[in-house]
Structure 1
Amino acid sequence: MVSLMTQPDLSYAMRSVPRYTSYPTAPHFHDGVGSDVYGQWLERLGPQDTLSLYLHVPYCRDICHYCGCHTKATRKEAPLVAYARTLGSEIELVASHLEQAGPVKHIHWGGGTPSLLPEQSLLDLTGLLRVSFTFADDLEHAIELDPRFVTGSLAQTLATMGVNRASLGIQDFDPAVQEAIGRVQPYETVRDATSYLRSAGLRALNFDLMYGLPEQTPDTIRDTVNKTLDLAPSRIALFGYAHVPWMRKHQRLIDESRLPDSERRLELANLAREALIEGGYVAIGLDHFAKPEDSMAIALQNRALKRNFQGYTTDNGEQLVGLGVSSIGRLDQGYIQNIADVRHWERAILAGQLPVSKGLALSTDDRLRGRIIEMIMTDYRCDLQAVCHQFSVAPHMLDGSLALLEELVRDGIVKLSGSADKAPIVEVTEFGQPYVRLAAAAFDAYLNDAMRGPKARHSLAV
C-alpha cells in the first residue's frame, strides 16, 4: 500500500510540470518533421515491429467546461459520416507504408466521443483495419465512451467490433459538481451504461474520475468513490483537473472562485486515493488504480508497466501509429502529430499525403531521458548507471539533473543510493510519490528554470 503524505508541502503541490505522457513533450514538436519523413519512418518498420493504433474522433454532442481534449460539438450526423470516410482513407494510406510491419497488439479509440460515429461506420472502420493490418491473437481493443450515450445497441456493436475494454468518463457523481462543469450525468445513467456493456460481454471497464473540480468537498468526493466502488470497474484513473483557460477557452465557463485551493485540492486527492486503496484497488503510479487481478496491476508487479498518451498502460505494441485529426504517434525514430484542422487534414489525405503537421526526431539524449522519466513515473525507481550503459552514454551527462534532485532529496521526496563510483539509483519515497512528476522533471532537458516554477503553464504537480 502507498502511504499518503501527512504533512504536505504546498510549495511542491503548486509547482507546474508536464504530465510526461511523452518525452520530449508535444510543445517541443516542430514542422521540420513532415509527411515525407514520416513515410520513410513507417516504411523502415519490419515484421519484428508490433503496432499500436490510436484513432482520434474529434466530436462530442456538447463540450464539457473542464475538457482539455481536441474536440468540437456537433449534433449532426453528416460531419461524422464524412469524418469516418476520410479516416478510412487515412487508414489505407498509412497501411500502404506499413506492408512489412508486424501485427497490431493494441487499438485505442479516443476523442472526443468516438462512439458518436454511426454504428455502421464503426463496423466498417474496424473491418477496414482487419483487412489492412494483421491482428495479434491477444489484441486489446479499447474505446472511450460517454456514459450518457451508451445504449444496448451500441454495446452490441462494440462487442461485434471486438472491443474488449471500455473507458467511461465519470469525473464526479455529485449533481452540484456536474452542474458546475457542464456535464450533468446521473448515477443511474452510468449504472445503466455499465450494465449494457457487461451484458454484451465487455467486462473490462475503466472509470475516469477527477479531483480539483469546482464545488467538490471531502464529502462529495467520498460519495463519488463509494458509488464507483459499487459499480466495480476493473481500473480507475484519478486525474487532477488542469485549469488552463489560456489553452482551452471553454474552461472560462468555470468560476475560478469555486475551484478548491491548493490545500483542499491535495486533501481531495489524498481522500480519494486512500478510499480507493481501502476499497481493494492497487495504486498504479501517480493516478491509476486497478483490481489486483487486472493486467495493469500484474504489469506493475512485473515492472512491465508503460506510459503513453493514454497515461499508464499495458499496451505492448512497440510502434504507436496515430490516425485522425491531431493524433500523435511514436515510432522508434521519433514523434509525429497529425494536422489539427479537419478540413486541412482531409485535404492532405485526399491528395495522397500523410496528414502530418509536426514532429520530432529523437536524439540519443532524448531516448535516454525518456526512458529514465518513464521508469520514474511507472516504477518510482531508476538505476541511472544501468540506463546509461543501455544507451552508451557517460553517466556524467546527468550531473545537471542530479543537482536538480538535491532539493527533493533534502526534503525526503527522493533518495539516492548505490556505490560512489557509479551513477546512483534514484527512488521516489513513499512520502514523495504524490510528487513523482517533480522527480521526473529533473531529467527534462527541455525545461528551463522559468518553466519549472509556479507560473509555468503546465498542470499542477498534484
Structure 2
Amino acid sequence: MLTSSLIRYAQPVPRYTSYPTAPHFHDGIDHVSYARWLGETDPHKPVSLYLHVPFCDRLCWFCGCHTKQVRRYDPIADYLDALEAEIALAAKALPGRRHVSAIHFGGGSPTVIEPDDIDSLRRKLDSAFDIDPDCEISVEIDPRNARPDKLEAWHRFGMTRASLGVQDFDSDVQRAINRLQSFEQTRAVVEALRDVGVGSINLDILYGLPLQTTETLRRTIDLAVSMRPNRIALFGYAHVPWMKKHQSLIDQNTLPGLAERFDMASFGAAQLAEAGYIPLGIDHFADEKDNLSAAAATGKMRRNFQGYTTDEAETLIGLGASSIGNLPQGYVQNAVSVGDYIRRVRAGALTTSRGFALSPSDRIIGKLIESLMCNFSFSIADLRRTFGSQVDHLQIEAAAITAEEKDMIDFDGDLFLVKSAARPFVRTIASRFDRYLPTNKARHSTAV
C-alpha cells in the first residue's frame, strides 16, 4: 500500500472494544444508577463476570493496563477482601440468584494471588452465583510468577483457558520494555498448565515494540507456534505515555515507524496463517478446533473490553478497581484508584465512578461497529430486523462512505463489506460511523 494511503488510514482511532468508547463515560452514572440497572436485568438470563487484579510483581514499561507494582502481599490481601465484599454487593443488587456463563480474570497479574486466596475467591463466587458447569473461566497468567501451587489452585478454581503474555522473546527487546522472560520459562508454564488439565492456551504477542524488527517478531512467532497454543493474539503496541507515564521510560527513538509496524502486522499474520491458524478479527488467530473459530464461522464471535470472545451474555459485571461492566442499559466503570475503590466498598456501596447510558442510536451504531470489527461487514437488512426503520438512514450514509472509499469498501445497498486489503484499517472505517469521535478530545494509538 502506498505510504500516503498508509498514513491516511493508520490515523489514531479507538480500538472499539465498546461504543461509545471509554473517554465518553461521565460521572452522571453512579452507584445508584448501577444498582438500578442491575435490578432491571432479566433474572432468567446468565451473566458473565470480569475480575480485575491491579497488581504486578514488576511493572512492564509497555503496559497500558490499570496496575501497579507491589513488593508486599498486604495490599493484595486488603484488596481481595474488598473484592469479595463487592461480589456480595453486586449479587444482592441483582433480581434473584444468577447463573454465570463466563468468568475472566485480568490485570495486572492474577498470578500474584496466593493459592489460599484463589480458593477463597471461588467459595465467595459460589456463595453469590450459580456458576454453570460448562462456564468458560479464563485467567491471564504471568509466567514469571506462575508457581506450580498457584497453577494447581487456578485449576481447582475451574480455569478452562490460560492466557500468557509473551510480547517478544528477543532479549534486547525484553530489556527495552523491562520484561525479562525466556522461552524456556514460558514453555515450562505452558507444559505445567497442560499437566494440570487446562484445555486451552492463548499466547499474547506484541508488534511495534522498541528495538523490535520483523526478524525478531518472526523468531518470536516461530517459538510461540512451537508450543502449539490454541490461540495467538498479535496486538499492536499502543504507545500512550500521556496516559501511562511509565511508558516514558521507553526510548521513543527505538520504536518502529508506521511502515515497519504495518510490515510486522502483515508478515506476522501471514506467518500464523501458514502455521495453520485461522485469522479472526483484527488481531486474533486460532486453530480450527478452538471455540472462537467456531463462533466466528457462525457469526457469533463478540467483542468486548477483553477483546474477541465467545461470551454471549448481555450483562457483563465488572468487579474490582477500574473494571468496566456492560449492561443492556449502558456501561459502568468502577473507581480506578485502588484506595478509592476499597473505601467505597467498605462504605457498603457499589463502587461505580462513571458510565454511559445508551440511546437507541448508540445501540444501532454499537451493533454496526461490533459487526465491522468481528466480521468486516454489516448488513442493513440484519440491522433493520433488530432495530426497525431507525436504521434506514444508514443506507444513505454507507453509500456516501463507499463513494469516498471505493478502494476500501464494497456496498450493494445491503451488505457493507470491507475489502480484504483494507481489513487492517477496519478501525478507521468503523470510526466513520462514530457519532462521538468528532467531539472526542482523547488521544488514541495508531490504527496499525
TM-score range, shorter chain: over 0.9
Report if aligned partners of 2:105, 2:140 keep a CA contact under 8 Å in 1. Answer: yes
Cα RMSD between the aligned structures? Answer: 1.7
Deviation digits for residues 61-80 of structure 1 (CA, Å, limit 9, x no counterpart): 11111100000000101011
Task: Name which of structure 1's ranges 375-384 and 40-49 shifts more when overlaid on structure 2.
Answer: 40-49
Tell me whether 1:144 sits opposite 2:140 in the alignment: yes
Distance 2:404 2:59 in 1: 39
Deviation digits for residues 78-104 of structure 1 (CA, Å, limit 9, x no counterpart): 011111111001101111112425410
Q: Give SS of 1:9's match.
A: helix
Pair 218,360 (structure 1): closer, same or farther in 2 beyond 3 Å: same
Report if aligned partners of 1:408, 1:414 keep a CA contact under 8 Å in 2. Answer: no
Residue 131 of structure 1, CA deviation: 1.5
Number of equivalenced pairs: 448
Of 25, 30, 33 in structure 2, the residue corresponding to residue 34 of structure 1 is 30
Report if aligned partners of 2:398, 2:416 keep a CA contact under 8 Å in 1. Answer: no
Tell me whether 1:66 sits opposite 2:56 in the alignment: no
Distance 1:448 1:406 in 2: 20
Residue 234 of structure 1, CA deviation: 0.7
Alignment correspondent of 1:97: 93
Tell me whether 1:426 sits opposite 2:422 in the alignment: no
Pair 223,40 (structure 1): closer, same or farther in 2 beyond 3 Å: same
Distance 1:407 1:249 in 2: 41
Task: Name which of structure 1's ranges 429-438 and 392-401 shifts more when overlaid on structure 2.
Answer: 392-401
Report if aligned partners of 1:151, 1:196 keep a CA contact under 8 Å in 2. Answer: no
Alignment correspondent of 1:310: 306
Amino acid at match of 2:120: D
Residue 344 of structure 1, CA deviation: 1.5
Deviation digits for residues 267-292 of structure 1 (CA, Å, limit 9, x no counterpart): 11111111000000000010000001
Name stretches of at least 5 consecutive residues in structure 2 with no aligned partner: none
TM-score between both structures, scaled by the size of structure 1? 0.94
Report if aligned partners of 2:136, 2:161 keep a CA contact under 8 Å in 1. Answer: yes
Name stretches of at least 5 consecutive residues in structure 1 with no aligned partner: 419-423
Distance 1:225 1:53 in 2: 31
Tell me whether 1:330 sits opposite 2:329 in the alignment: no
Tell me whether 1:117 sits opposite 2:113 in the alignment: yes
Alignment correspondent of 1:458: 444
Of 220, 228, 236 in structure 2, the residue corresponding to residue 224 of structure 1 is 220
Report if aligned partners of 2:318, 2:324 keep a CA contact under 8 Å in 1. Answer: yes
Distance 1:265 1:379 in 2: 23
Of 395, 412, 417 in structure 2, the residue corresponding to residue 417 of structure 1 is 412
Tell me whether 1:444 sits opposite 2:434 in the alignment: yes
Q: Give SS of 2:144's match.
A: helix
Alignment correspondent of 2:185: 189
Residue 115 of structure 1, CA deviation: 1.5
TM-score between both structures, scaled by the size of structure 2? 0.96
Alignment correspondent of 1:249: 245
Percent identity between matched residues is 42
Report if aligned partners of 1:408, 1:439 keep a CA contact under 8 Å in 2. Answer: no
Report if aligned partners of 2:47, 2:101 keep a CA contact under 8 Å in 1. Answer: yes
Distance 1:130 1:247 in 2: 37
Pair 214,13 (structure 1): closer, same or farther in 2 beyond 3 Å: farther
Q: Give SS of 1:448's match.
A: helix
Task: Name which of structure 1's ranges 57-66 and 42-51 shifts more when overlaid on structure 2.
Answer: 42-51
Amino acid at match of 1:433: R
Tell me whether 1:201 sits opposite 2:197 in the alignment: yes
Distance 1:177 1:408 in 2: 40
